[in-house]
Amino acid sequence: MKLTGIFSIIMMALIVISCGESNSPSVDNLTLKSNISQTSLSNSTNVKQDEIQNGITNIKIHSVRILLNNITIKLNDNERNIKAVPVVFTVTDEVNSYEFANADLPQGGIDKIKFEIHRFASSEIDNYKSNPSLKDFATDERFTIIIKGTTINNADETPFEYKSEVVGNLSFDFNPPLLIEDNKNLIVDFEFQSEMVFKDKGFILDPNDSNNKSHIDNQIKNAIRAIKR
């Protein structure tokens, strides 16, 4: 066989190998998921009847949606952005775990994950109002949090939709650091602890009562906890 023929075969083989490598999907080794601690809450047994707000004995949470942006991690003492576009933290009473970010990272240790509860600027509304997952936040009111549920007064059920414009930066520290390893997927659940938001001193807070708005808004920022899985 002539040298030119051998050279051609070698080059074709290298091209096939190169194409196969470039088309092979990368494996994400970090996944961030949303979760919820409880979707059904009731008054504690020690709550007195005169402390029950508006006769509400139970609350059911059907969905929680929180607009997030700028998800960053600190890996090996270097900060990197793994999600620079808006995304919705979502949980429902039917599917209580959703993936909202992932990344393919080098080996090392993550000692911090940060993101912000985001409010669209007025100039951003047109960019997102047609996006199915973001359109409810891309309105003139520019809500950041939308929670749907039902309050229960004995046998009477009343649906509610709680909306807020609260914003805030959330930071989660890990000591010891979370280890990123090749061919292993690290999953971090961010759990929405509903009892922190809709209960106070053992009794259910009525989300339709404007007197509870300050408590609910403040607690939403404290109610998301990171849990390694």
pLDDT for 167-223, tens place per residue? 999 999 999 999 999 889 999 999 999 999 999 888 899 999 999 999 999 999 899
User: Which phi-psi region, left, alpha or beta, contains residue 20 (left: φ > 0; alpha: ψ -120 to 50)?
Assistant: alpha
Cα–Cα distance, 109 to 157 (Å, whole number)? 48
pLDDT of residue 138 exceeding 90, the answer is yes
Confidence of residue 51 (pLDDT cuts 50, 70, 90): low
* pLDDT of the residue at 95: 81
Mean pLDDT, range 42-63, rounded to an integer: 79
% residues pLDDT > 70 (the chain): 86
Cα–Cα distance, 49 to 53 (Å, whole number)? 9
Mean pLDDT, range 134-151, rounded to an integer: 97
Q: Please say whether the beta carbons of 178 and 188 come within 8 A.
A: yes
Average pLDDT, the chain: 87
pLDDT digit string, tens, across residues 95-137: 878 999 999 999 999 999 999 999 999 999 999 999 999 999 9
Tokens (6 digits) for 205: 């807070």
